[in-house]
Amino acid sequence: MEPFKVHILGCGSALPTLRHNPSSQVVEIREKQFMIDCGEGTQTQMRRSRVGFNKVMAIFISHIHGDHCFGLIGMLSSFGLLGRTMPLSIYGPKELGPILDTLLTTFCNDFDYEIKFHAVDTSRQEVVYEDRSLTVETIPLKHRLPCAGYLFREKPTLPHIRRDMIDFYRIPISQINNIKNGASWIDEEGNVIPNSRLTRPADPPRSYAYCSDTCYLPGLADRLKDVTCLYHESTYADEDEDKAQKYFHSTARQAAMVARDAGVGRLLLGHYSSKYNTEDVLLQQAKEVFAESSLTSEGMVVTL
């Protein structure tokens, strides 16, 4: 099975602390890397996590609150200083476009790589990126500014060849691709060897959803059905549900309700308020609703 990992670079909220950095993650899938959000300090976190700067193919920004994008221009500048030549695509709400243009003109006007900005519609769920191995969809969220989450879906792979059967029936290597694509084999005596005997089922496609920042949206579960792993903001505990409602954030319990209703495989909690000295209460309240809940922390690598 090809690697599908999520590197947690920052899982705090607006105010950086000595325990947590602002939001940023890198999704690594089939030797490609994609960044989600780029809060202050992301570059340092990448170095600590040994995530390569030159492998990032695209950056997805959820919204233009500072704790999700203050690190972006510094990151782009470092890419240039490191001699990057590969084009870079940036996806985010349309409001990010003019801000990005001003910053690039001021600080990054002499680098040797092209930056392409793609405005996303935060009100619709649609595919905004696609290549041979995956798609990335937007997830409409509800926050104080236009905001979108991102859903990474691995494309189905071909079945696995049973090497023992290939050798037993003396099937030429030239026929392997045909068999992977569903062909059976006819031996020298005219017997049909069914494809099911020559292959094992492909690995089930995996998926990862990133939802930060948003108030509790009961209908969000319908957009996340059976996702392998969900990261959902859990800024507050139950005692601060009024603050969550006021600032369009979610509690850990509400995040767990979304995970439960969507039938996801695993819930990752993050975007913690700086008021908490420990997130144990958030984890406890989430687990009361959805047992497969866990806290994120900087440097953590989640393998799907």
CA distance 234 to 295: 10
Q: What percent of the chain has pLDDT over 70?
A: 100
**Would you place residue 299 in the very low, low, confident or very high pLDDT band (cuts 50, 70, 90)?**
very high
Alpha carbons within 13 angstroms on the beta-carbon side of residue 12 total 23
Q: What mean pLDDT value characterizes the chain?
A: 94
Indicate whether 95 pLDDT > 90: yes
- Over 90: is that where the pLDDT of 45 sits? yes
Closest CA to 5 of 26, 37, 30, 28: 28
pLDDT digits (tens, 9 = 90+) for 227-263: 999 999 999 999 999 999 999 999 999 999 999 999 9
Phi first, then psi: give them for residue 135, nearest 5 degrees: -125, 155
Predicted confidence (pLDDT) at residue 216 exceeds the cutoff of 90: yes
Q: How confident is the model at residue 304 (pLDDT cuts 50, 70, 90)?
A: very high
Q: Which residues lie below 8 Å from residue 264, measured CB to CB, with a gap of 6+?
A: 209, 224, 226, 227, 228, 229, 230, 292
Q: One of 37, 67, 131, 203 is an active-site residue; which one?
A: 67
Q: pLDDT grade, residue 184 (50/70/90)?
A: confident
Tens digit of each residue's pLDDT (9 = 90 or more) over 140-174: 999 999 999 999 999 988 888 889 988 887 888 88
pLDDT at 199: 87
Q: Is 191 helix (H, G, I), strand (E, B) or coil?
A: coil
User: How far from the centroid of its chain's Cα atoms is residue 21's Cα?
Assistant: 18
Q: What is the Cβ-side half-sphere exposure of residue 273, based on CA atoms within 13 angstroms?
A: 19
pLDDT at 104 (0 to 100): 93
Most distant CA atoms of the chain, gap in Å: 76
Q: Reduced to 3 states, what is the DSSP secondary structure of residue 114?
A: coil
**Position with higher pLDDT, 112 vs 127:** 127
Q: pLDDT at residue 1 above 80? A: no
pLDDT score for 178: 85
Q: List Cβ neighbours of 253 (8 Å cut-off, separation of 6 or more).
A: 238, 285, 286, 288, 289
Residue 221 binned pLDDT confidence (cut-offs 50, 70, 90): very high
Please report the pLDDT score of residue 89 as a whole number: 97
Cβ atoms of residues 272 and 236 within 8 Å = no
Among this protein's residues, is 67 annotated catalytic?
A: yes
139 token code pair: 């997830």
Q: Which residues are bridge partners to 150 per DSSP? A: 138, 210
Q: Provide the pLDDT for residue 140.
A: 98
Domain ranges of the chain: 4-157+203-303, 160-200
Tell me if the pTM is above 0.95: no
- Residues 23, 67 contacting (CB under 8 angstroms): yes
State which fold the 4-157+203-303 domain adopts. Metallo-beta-lactamase; Chain A (3.60.15)
pLDDT given for residue 2 in this prediction: 85
Give the pLDDT confidence of 48-84 residue by residue, as tens digits: 999 888 889 999 999 999 999 999 999 999 999 999 9
Q: At 26, is the pLDDT very low, low, confident or very high (cuts 50, 70, 90)? A: very high
